[in-house]
Amino acid sequence: MNPQRILVVGSVALDTIRTPYGEVTEALGGSASYFSCSASHFAPVSVVAVVGEDFPDTHRQTFTGRGIDLSGLETARGRTFRWRGEYMAELGHAHTLETQLNVFAEFHPKLTDTHRRIPYVFLANIDPELQLEVLAQMRRPRLVLSDTMNYWIARKPDRVLEVLRRVDVALLNEEEARALAGETHLTRAAESLLAAGAHAVIIKKGEHGALYHSHDERFLTPAYPVRALADPTGAGDSFAGGFMGLLARLDRADGGALRQAMACGTAMASMAIEAFSPVRLVECSGAEIEGRVRELHGLVHYDLFKMFD
């Protein structure tokens, strides 16, 4: 195995979160944090993001403890991006209580020459214009994965679609896929996004798993049946980390790799939501990840036999 490096461009934040199972104050958060902690189990990761002068050293050590390259983590004048949110009993949606963009408001990803040559790229949920800026700077990456959110779909649908056309795989959740495709039925929504020029989409359905759709492959992974749910924040980015992590580790994106990568994403998402902040993502072992991927396989696997003559 010859794991390839992964570049993630996204947010590093300080999250203050309350769920029915507890709360945290100014914990490490942000899409790039969840993604990189997750992906670092599979392959080396470089982060491009911005923090303020107040970003705690302990959080920096969380990244470096996992071997994550922070040479692209800019420290700008001012305060770090902060998000305050709350989840109710159903845990489906976060209620945002406060967003302070702070240094993130002026963020324009600046890539060094080394960053531009990284072969695997995750464009986390940021303004699609910034995602396109990053893509324009990259030197023939081997595989690019993107994420987005309803906020951008509502405001810049054409730019979001432009990103979809330019990346290899686009991650969306159910509501985002429906909103962007203008189609309620998920299979039809996925097909309509492919018809609009996307190469492949992954539709995340929360507790109902995730769906991979391309012109050649259609594949479904159930969610891992988590018992000790603590905080759903970061599930999607952790999924992305496991998914892209395995592809970069194998340096392959054929059907077999993609299918197991979906299970890796699912396993990492399940780790993320068992604790606040990326705590479980940081501490879990390869054996634990492997165990969950094996459990997911057992949950759907059967030997097909012929029934009718």
List interacting residues with a copy of itself (CB under 8 A): 42, 89-90, 184-188, 205, 207-209, 218-222, 225, 227, 229, 246, 249, 256, 259-260, 263-264, 286-287, 289-290, 293-294, 297, 299-309
Spell out the alpha helix ranges (H) of the chain: 31-39, 57-65, 113-116, 128-137, 150-155, 157-166, 174-181, 186-195, 235-250, 255-272, 279-283, 286-300
Calpha distance 201→204 (Å, rounded): 10
Let me know if 151 is exposed, middle or buried by CB neighbors in 10 A (0-12, 13-18, 19+).
exposed
Beta carbon of residue 202, minimum distance to a copy of itself (angstroms, whole number) = 14
Cβ atoms of 95 and 87 closer than 8 Å:
yes
Strands 45-51, 120-123: parallel, antiparallel or unpaired by DSSP? unpaired
Beta carbon of residue 225, minimum distance to a copy of itself (angstroms, whole number) = 4
Beta carbon of residue 168, minimum distance to a copy of itself (angstroms, whole number) = 19
Q: Element (H or E) spanning 218, and its range?
A: strand 218-221
Give the residue with the Cβ less far from a copy of itself, 88 or 154. Answer: 88
Give the residue with the Cβ less far from a copy of itself, 194 or 299. Answer: 299
Give the residue with the Cβ less far from a copy of itself, 197 or 255. Answer: 255
Give the residue with the Cβ less far from a copy of itself, 155 or 297. Answer: 297
Beta carbon of residue 119, minimum distance to a copy of itself (angstroms, whole number) = 19
Give the residue with the Cβ less far from a copy of itself, 166 or 249. Answer: 249
